[in-house]
Structure 1
Amino acid sequence: MQSTPPSGGDTLWVSGYEIYDRLSPPFRAFLETLTATCAQPVFKSACEAGGYEVMSPRGSPLNVGYEFEPHHPVIRTHPVTGWKSVFAGVGLHVSRIDGVTSYEDQMIREYILRLITRNHDCVARMHWTRGACAIWSNECTLHAATVRGPDRRLSA
């Protein structure tokens, strides 16, 4: 970070490894059989609001226009460490857990979110300052930005 903007927030990371380790072995085995449909529900509105032109295709030839709905494993094995991690299951980008009922989808996502929000010891928070740098692997961490106003206090 060369300089910090007048508004913005911190970044929160949670270890997908740690969330996986907190699951019972039978539940781990079940989640390892599932995928999640991921999308960016605000992609179109964010592009329009920012005046961004959408390139087509982007990455996969299936990513044309505003269409973008990949399926990712709920549990992923990191290609370098070989460790298993909760990869997909929560967040704005997850539309649904594939192959389960809507009630089961809701239960799974609420449970994973509860593991994250009720276990602060697996969450790291970084306050961005001039000269700050962070490196992480999206294959084993979940991350989100906090919202702060120009005076750096947390917004309500």
Structure 2
Amino acid sequence: MGVGGTLDYISSLLRSSSSSSHKSKKKKVMQTVELKVRMDCDGCELKVKKALSSMKGIKSVDINRKQQKVTVTGYVEAKKVLKKAQSTGKKSEIWPYVPYNLVVQPYIAQVYDKKAPPGYVRKVENTGTSTMISNQEDPYTAMFSDENPNSCSIM
């Protein structure tokens, strides 16, 4: 191994150690970000699409103006996409809805939203009433006794 081989070996060690220090940076993962953006016309839609498409790491931007929904796919962070959408001057927020069949009680006050697209309700982490209902006995079934089926108590 001559001088040239030794230098190549040392430089490869230096490259691998410097690249390992760069690997400590947080890698962005491919993800889909859904936003609710207020859009009224083709101009609004084009403005939002153009702004989001110009971001680094964006693979696709799909817009459904009827639902006011923008779906962005790429190597991006949700907060940065939201900030970019808000920079267009349009009212924007992270998509606040989930399909109504995924919610235990889709028609209670905190979840039901008249402005939601058909088949969707507002996404709520914990409504509080679902735990309250599960902890209490149903008053109608409590009136009857399993030990004596001929008796009932009216409260």
Higher RCO by CA contacts (8 Å cutoff, separation 6 or greater):
1
Write 1 or 2 for the structure with the bigger share of helix. 2
- TM-score, normalising length from structure 2? 0.21
- TM-score, normalising length from structure 1? 0.21
From the CA coordinates, give the structure whose radius of gyration is larger.
2
